[in-house]
Chains A and B, each alone.
Chain A
Amino acid sequence: MAKTKVSPKATSSLGPNEVRKMYRNMLLARTIDERMWTLNRAGKAPFVIPCRGQEAAQVGWAAGLRPTDYFLPYYRDIGVMVTLGYTARQAFLSLLGKAEDVTSGGRQMPGHYGWRERHVITGSSPVTTQVLHAVGIAYASQLRGEDTVSAASLGEGSTSQGDFHEALNWASIYKLPVLFVVENNGYAISSPQSKEMAVQDTAERALGYGMAGVTVDGTDFFASYEATVQAAERARRGDGPTLLEFKMYRLLPHSSDDDDRTYRSREEVDAWKDRDPIQRMQNHVLEAGIMTAEEVDALRVEVQAEVDDAIAYAEAAPYPPVEDMFTHVYAD
């Protein structure tokens, strides 16, 4: 199985209405992200983990799967969640740890997704643990003869964990219907890719396990979407797992607690702003005549209003009652 690169100019099977929806998802993810950051800086949200720069890949890989598939996203995946129907209100309820938070009832830090109804499996903070769960979920699907795929995402740095290698080994031995989605943003906090691995592309690691590995331009929505559709088809056909690597750049510090000026230059960050995935998608919808400039402006206003409403709602929402912290340790 050769490592392939998907051309950034890959054409899409999506119609104009769907493209518009995908652009909206990306814009909503970005806007949620921006406003979370503002709340943090205003002292109203203790912790934010940004997705900025990764929206195309996130919306692309989530949209490339079916609602019946299983999703094991990692902490940056606002774009994945929005594509699965997560609303701005839900995002801010989770940010502020309010009772109505759908991911954990206010128990988990923001960015720790889980939503049973939408097949989003609950996740923790220790990185890479979810990748093995995706393998087990795929094994169960295969055993029951279902055509569902499971997909776990993680950062490129997180592929240094032993769990990652155990997961790829299992998946390829049993040709399981699972996608390993590496969102390669160049850094693991301050650690550049070169300190996490000696290979250029994370996808090269697939070769050693006898499975498909694909490197994709993660700032290109269409390339991300198509690569996922193809990998999912392979998985459903019984041709086994794929390691999908989306290359992009983390435009913000690691989290609201980080200061990236200590380890990377402003020139480096600015150079990547030219490949901002939101801008690329906007250029596309305008150039392809899918939306007019007025429609793009109207969409921005609409998304901002949705986020304004969400913040007001979440700020007014109650915390969970203290007694609730003792529930669900075991089946009652």
Chain B
Amino acid sequence: MAVKNLIDGIREAMHEEMARDERVVLLGEDVGKRGGVFRASEGLVDAYGDKRVIDAPLGESGIVGVAIGMALNGLVPIAEIQFADFIHPAFNQIVSEAAKIRYRSDNDFHVPMVIRAPFGGGVHGGLYHSQSVEAFFMHVPGLKVVIPSTPADAKGLLKAAIRDEDPVLFFEHKRSYRLVRGEVPDGDVTVPIGKARMVREGKDLSIFAYGLMALYAEQAADTLAKEGISAEVIDLRTLLPLDREAILASVARTHRALIVHEANYTMGAGAEVAATIAEGALYELDAPIRRLAGPDIPAMPFNTPQEEHFMPNPEKIAQAARELLAL
């Protein structure tokens, strides 16, 4: 096993899947010679040619709509949206089309495809290069929503997403691309979609997070451990379908729940996790559920102090955990 960056896991998954299955194609803005603006597809056009690694015209509705057509006719497209903030022109194609094609055709048609997009802030990206858009798509049955937080999961989950028979939205936290390093197993290892990951076991409270926040939660748990607080950390890693079993089982062990996401508070993924606990484990709780999330403002400001104030971080997570334990 070699230690790699999260973005290496993404690249390797695409590389191996394109080598394994010639139906797999990649399309998106600047994915060819440039190798993607974050370099996720570096080298792919040299290996597989510009018929399979396609520099798309600048239009997200076009990218996703064309990918749907490809999927309907025997290809397995990976559509890259350059930033998750720019996925909205494709919202109609994703929500009206990709999500509903299997259902509306009574299973005659389906669209095996992946839509990859970097999301998240803390990179001085301002209002439109920092957003977390996962909640919009969690509300849409027919889609799957996956967010890896480690290099191994990035690779294993992306491979699983490419092989999945249904449309998968695959969001990659852009700050974690080169910040998060970890061991990536060699060879053809997939990670199942729909299963949460136990990051560390604990007994005083459960912290539920995903993406960069899963890493921050782990760091917060280290700090808390030094204070004698034992925090369990669960990386949700698939938001749709949500691993409700893992959530309920964890709360049954710790009796306290802290949910962390960078997306704004109201109607974020945390609302669904909280509702799951309220419905399935209310009598297990020793304290009210706590959500730590981005504030309810339209997007993350560019200037340094306000951006920092927007972002949850390990210290804020640790503080929220202390407060929850004091209740």
Q: Bound complex: CA of A125 vs CA of B84, how far in Å?
A: 12
Is B112 engaged at the interface, CB distance under 8 Å to the other chain?
A: no
Is B139 engaged at the interface, CB distance under 8 Å to the other chain?
A: no
Q: Bound complex: CA of A163 vs CA of B62, how far in Å?
A: 12
Name the residue on B nearest A126 (C-beta).
B86
A196 touches B58 (CB 8 A): yes
**Nearest-Cβ distance from residue A94 to partner chain B, whole angstroms:** 9
A97 touches B304 (CB 8 A): yes
A325 touches B295 (CB 8 A): yes
Looking at chain B, what size class is its interface with the partner chain?
Answer: 35 or more
Q: Bound complex: CA of A257 vs CA of B59, how far in Å?
A: 21
A191 touches B302 (CB 8 A): no
Name the residue on B nearest A188 (C-beta).
B58
Is B183 engaged at the interface, CB distance under 8 Å to the other chain?
A: no
**Nearest-Cβ distance from residue A36 to partner chain B, whole angstroms:** 14
B127 touches A320 (CB 8 A): no
Given contacts A320-B305, A325-B295, contact A125 B29 (CB under 8 A): no
B302 touches A107 (CB 8 A): yes
B85 touches A126 (CB 8 A): yes
Is B310 engaged at the interface, CB distance under 8 Å to the other chain?
A: yes
Is A189 engaged at the interface, CB distance under 8 Å to the other chain?
A: yes
B303 touches A189 (CB 8 A): no
Which secondary structure dominates chain B's binding surface?
A: loop
Interfacial chain A residues near B37, Cβ < 8 Å: 189, 257-258
Interfacial chain A residues near B305, Cβ < 8 Å: 319-322
B35 touches A262 (CB 8 A): yes
Task: Tell me which of A191, A319, A320, A329 contacts B58 (CB under 8 A).
Answer: A191
Is A269 engaged at the interface, CB distance under 8 Å to the other chain?
A: no
Interfacial chain B residues near A262, Cβ < 8 Å: 33-35
Q: Bound complex: CA of A262 vs CA of B37, how far in Å?
A: 11
Task: Tell me which of B29, B297, B301 contacts A191 (CB under 8 A).
Answer: B29
Task: Tell me which of A46, A157, A258, A325 contacts B310 (CB under 8 A).
Answer: A325
Is B280 engaged at the interface, CB distance under 8 Å to the other chain?
A: no
Is B61 engaged at the interface, CB distance under 8 Å to the other chain?
A: yes
B302 touches A108 (CB 8 A): yes
Is A190 engaged at the interface, CB distance under 8 Å to the other chain?
A: yes
**Nearest-Cβ distance from residue A325 to partner chain B, whole angstroms:** 4
**Nearest-Cβ distance from residue B34 to partner chain A, whole angstroms:** 4
14 sample A-B contacts, Cβ–Cβ < 8 Å, listed by A number: A47-B124, A98-B303, A107-B127, A108-B127, A108-B302, A109-B124, A109-B126, A125-B85, A127-B58, A162-B62, A197-B57, A320-B305, A325-B309, A325-B310
In the A-B complex, the 8 residue pairs with the smallest Cβ-Cβ separation, listed nearest first, are A97-B303, A125-B128, A109-B126, A190-B34, A46-B124, A106-B303, A160-B57, A325-B306
